[in-house]
Structure 1
Amino acid sequence: MIHQNLTRQHKELYKLLSDMKSLGYNIEPNADKIALNINLLAGKINIHLQSEDKYLYSLLLNSTNPEVKKISKNFITEMGHISKTFNDFKLKFNTKNKILSNINEFKLEYSKIIDAIFNRLNKEDKNLYILLK
């Protein structure tokens, strides 16, 4: 059940990230949609992280297998860095005006943050969620 819920959340996040990536090819006319999606992504990530913390990590950190504990701790540490980077990005660019007033910096950071989150989800799918099976 835990695995299914987290996998469903990942599918939703992948879809949103894909939509955001396509909007990023033409930022100026899509700035309002991009800002909305940044805020939507923040909400979905927040819910997902709460689910992982409450169900996934509590389970894995209590494993009797030391390797499972080690992998879990590494994922927690890595996510802290990604989460902070995304939160900083969100605060800088969560409105149309913020995006358009600093569009060059936005362009540099936008694809990097989307790729970082996408790569993290993919890494969880391949290396973390298999520990639940």
Structure 2
Amino acid sequence: MNLEKYRHQHSDILKSIQVLRELSRLGIAEKAAEIAQCVISMSSVIKLHLSVEDRYLYPELQKSGNRRLASMGKQYQQEMQKIASAYIGFAAKWNEASKLARDPEGFRREANQVLKILFERIRKENRDFYPAIEHS
């Protein structure tokens, strides 16, 4: 199974997280418009990534006949539902410059929580999940 498109999307998401960190360091209220735009852009990539995983990756693992991978895929998919829900709520709350400017510390707090979980999940997929699929 070719996982290059998934890795590329992960790379794009990680770059967006880095951009959000850099913009936040420069001042959330001052960079509110750029931060909001980055959240919107990153959300598009994340939604596409989740959709492709749900429509193609996880079903392929279920059909693979490899019980270990099928189980792993099911576990990753279930875990991702909670992470995706948290991210979607975060993105809906912080996708407008005016909201960011009104509560920069609220954004910082939520971003630190939600984006850390997303970052760790991507690292786990890149380190454990994708290599397991490729070496099956």
Q: What is the TM-score of this pair, normalised by structure 1?
A: 0.92
CA distance in 1, matches of 2:102, 2:18: 24
Letter paired with 1:62: K
- The alignment of Structure 1 onto Structure 2 pairs a total of residues equal to 133
C-alpha displacement at 1:2, in angstroms? 3.2
Can you list the C-alpha shifts for 1:38-92, whole angstroms capped at 9, x where unaligned? 1111100011111212221111122222221211111111110011101111111
Residue in structure 2 matched with residue 8 of structure 1 by the alignment: 8
Cα displacement string for residues 7-53 of structure 1 (whole angstroms, at most 9, x for unaligned residues): 11111111111111111222121111110011111100011111212
1:45 counterpart = 2:46: yes
> The residue matched to 2:65 in structure 1 has which SS?
coil
CA contact (8 A) 1:17 1:114 kept: yes
4+ residue stretches of structure 1 with deviation over 2 A?
none
- Measured in 1, the distance between the counterparts of 2:60 and 2:21 equals 33
CA RMSD in angstroms, aligned pairs only: 1.4
TM-score under structure 2 normalisation?
0.90
Where does the alignment leave 5 or more consecutive residues of structure 1 unmatched?
Answer: none
What percentage of residue pairs aligned between the two structures are identical? Answer: 26
